[in-house]
Amino acid sequence: MTKIKAAVCTEFGAPLQIEELHLRAPQDGEVEVTLEAVAICHSDISFADGGWGGDLPAVYGHEAAGRVTGLGAGVKNLKHGDRVVVTLIRACGTCANCATGKPTICETPSAGSPITRADGTEVVQAMNCGAFAEKVVVDQTQVVALPDSMPAESVALMACGVITGIGAVINAGRLRAGEDVVVIGAGGVGLNAIQGAKIAGARRIVAVDMSEEKLEIAKEFGATHGVLANGKAPWRDAFKALGRGADLVAVTVGAIPAYDSAMRYLGYGGRMVMVGMPHTGAMAQYEPVVPAFMGQHMIGSKMGDVVISRDIPWMADLYQQGRLKLDELVSGRWTLEQINEAIADTKTGGARRNVILF
């Protein structure tokens, strides 16, 4: 057993506690990664606040980067010292979804947690990662080796926010060059959805948000227009910018008002991609006769429908070519001991991505 420091959730809605935990050695098909950076995602906050249930004590964090420092038997294509991105996407490779190229919705349950307290109490490895910690042990399918030349914090962002946003419009939304896009929410995932739309050749990209400042930032990432969402009918402003209804709307925030209004932005045959995740039990409303008559589609997208071994290296190449912004997404750098301050700052809504550096 290796001793590690980790930020542990012991009570929903309470500050995380820094504890010394035990991490077992990697088993068959697993790797140990000593972390260099982990970003704070709103999903971590929702879990820690009890928005989606779950068991405690738990270690959250799922957007990480580090170096391989341990290999279990049977691990392929990885070696000690590799710089890797660590994702929550654990794929068995054999269930119906994995076998048809959809590893983000693998149906095989995860095994027990590799993390315990000194007294032997199991600590939940939340979202298959538990990356608010100095080290993690994860399945080899969860990691991808990336170039040493990439900064650790930029590598970490590719574990969730980047692949979720870009994948939502390209993989799930099947955006074609020349189509018009609306992105609701200009936070970390929304900015990457905007980047994805630009990369795919969208004609016009309208960002919708409650903040003027975030709309200006969205234009730096590729939005052609910005619409404030605090009016009575922001979709009318989007129609003016586009000249018609959108071909694709990506909802990147877990806010019910955003879902209630999302379909109104669409034109005939448009697709609405559902990315942001409201708390369990929250309900949205829409008028079904409209999508039925207009041939519109509602599409759920988990983690951008990515295949990490295919999509992450492609995005890393875009970054190295200067075609994908990653460094600009980092808005704050913190230590593990400052994690509660970093979470509080993230909750204000102004941060693109706060990153814990080890």
Q: With a cut of 70, which residues of the chain have pLDDT below it?
A: none
Q: What is the pLDDT of residues 294-321, one digit of tens each?
A: 999 999 999 999 999 999 999 999 999 9
- State yes or no: cis peptide before 57, omega within 30 of 0: yes
Q: Is residue 177 part of a domain?
A: yes
Q: Which residues contact 280 (CB under 8 A, 6 or more apart)?
A: 51, 52, 53
Residue carrying structure tokens 């315990």: 116
Strand, helix or coil for residue 243? coil
pLDDT at 320: 95
Helices marked H in 21-151: 42-48, 96-99
Q: Is residue 217 part of a domain?
A: yes
Residue 24 lies in a domain: yes
In this predicted structure, what is the pLDDT of residue 262? 94
Please tell me whether residue 304 adopts helix, strand or coil conformation: helix
- Residue 22: name the closest of 127, 135, 111, 112 by CA: 135
Q: Give residue 167's pLDDT.
A: 97
- Tell me the C-alpha distance between 100 and 77, whole Å: 23
Report the domain count for the chain: 2
Distance separating alpha carbons of residues 230 and 91, to the nearest angstrom: 41
Burial of 293 (0-12, 13-18, 19+ CB in 10 A): exposed
CA atoms within 13 A on the CB side of 209: 27
pLDDT at 151: 93
pLDDT for the residue numbered 111 = 80
Residue with tokens 């490895």: 125
Q: Which domain holds residue 199?
A: 165-301
Question: Quick check: 126 and 58 in contact, CB under 8 A?
Answer: yes
Question: Residue 315 domain-assigned?
Answer: no
Distance in angstroms (rounded) separating the CA atoms of residues 13 and 224? 38
Give the model confidence (pLDDT) of 238-280 as tens digits.
Answer: 998 999 999 999 999 999 999 999 999 999 999 999 999 999 9
Identify the CATH number of the domain in which residue 338 sits: 3.90.180.10
122, 115 in Cβ contact below 8 A? yes
The answer on 116 and 30 residing in a single domain is yes
Query: Does 227 map to a domain?
Result: yes
One domain, residues 249 and 339: no
C-alpha–C-alpha distance, residues 350 and 355, integer Å: 14
6 lies in the same domain as 141: yes
